[in-house]
Amino acid sequence: MRKLWAPWRAEFILHVKKDECIFCAAPNRTDEEAYILYRGEHNFIILNIFPYNSGHLMIAPYSHKPSPEYLTSEEYNEMFELLQWSLRNLRSALRPDGFNIGFNVGRVAGAGYEGHLHMHVVPRWNGDTNFMPVLAETKVISVGMEKTYQLLKPLFTSKD
């Protein structure tokens, strides 16, 4: 597999502690350090620093819960309100052709952080799975983390 240079990822890798839940730790950092786009009452929106595509964000509750059935009604309702708002903001800023939205509950289902539920929202464009991943086993992320954050953050200042 070929590797693409992605220097913005080094800062995250150096800050990750193996015994630390990134979703519990992120709210204790500044928005800019953690790439937090919005802090709600029960959930927050954060960019995925290992994105599948540009604009890949996650919505996570502040509480450390492993699966949707453990969420309170308030946590659940706000999470899906933030999903709707995120979709509108991503459509406005990035003009994707579609989205992948979902949860990976449990390690067997692909959860990188299985103890802390989080919803993935991945913008998709026609052709974003072109020949590079198929033939070269390489995924190209065309917009860097800082630029993506700077583009999206102003859209997530107020839900009104």
What is the DSSP track for 2-48? -----THHHHHHHH--TTS-HHHHGGGS-HHHHTEEEE-SSEEEEE-
* Nearest one of 47, 56, 59 to 141, comparing CA atoms: 56
pLDDT for residue 132 is more than 50: no
Confidence of residue 159 (pLDDT cuts 50, 70, 90): confident
Q: Extract the runs of DSSP E, i.e. beta strands, from 24-141.
A: 36-39, 43-47, 57-61, 98-103, 119-124
Does the annotation mark 118 as catalytic?
A: yes
CATH number at residue 134: 3.30.428.10
13 domain-assigned: no
12 domain-assigned: no
pLDDT for residue 158 is more than 50: yes
In the block, residue with structure tokens 């709600």: 40
Give the model's pLDDT for residue 54: 86
97 domain-assigned: yes
Select which of 56, 116, 118, 120 is catalytic. 118
Express each pLDDT in 11-41 by its tens digit.
555 555 567 789 999 999 999 999 999 999 9
Task: Look at the pTM and tell me if it is higher than 0.85.
Answer: no
Give the model's pLDDT for residue 25: 94
pLDDT for residue 130 is more than 50: no
Domain residues for the domain of 125 are 21-156
Q: How many separate domains does the chain show?
A: 1
117 domain-assigned: yes
Give the model's pLDDT for residue 105: 78
Express each pLDDT in 115-127 by its tens digit.
899 999 999 988 7
128 domain-assigned: yes
Give the model's pLDDT for residue 17: 56
CA–CA separation, 152 and 82 (whole Å) = 14
Give the model's pLDDT for residue 53: 85
82 domain-assigned: yes
14 domain-assigned: no
Mean pLDDT of 54-69: 94
Top-confidence residue, 129 or 137: 129
pLDDT for residue 106 is more than 80: no
93 domain-assigned: yes
Top-confidence residue, 137 or 35: 35
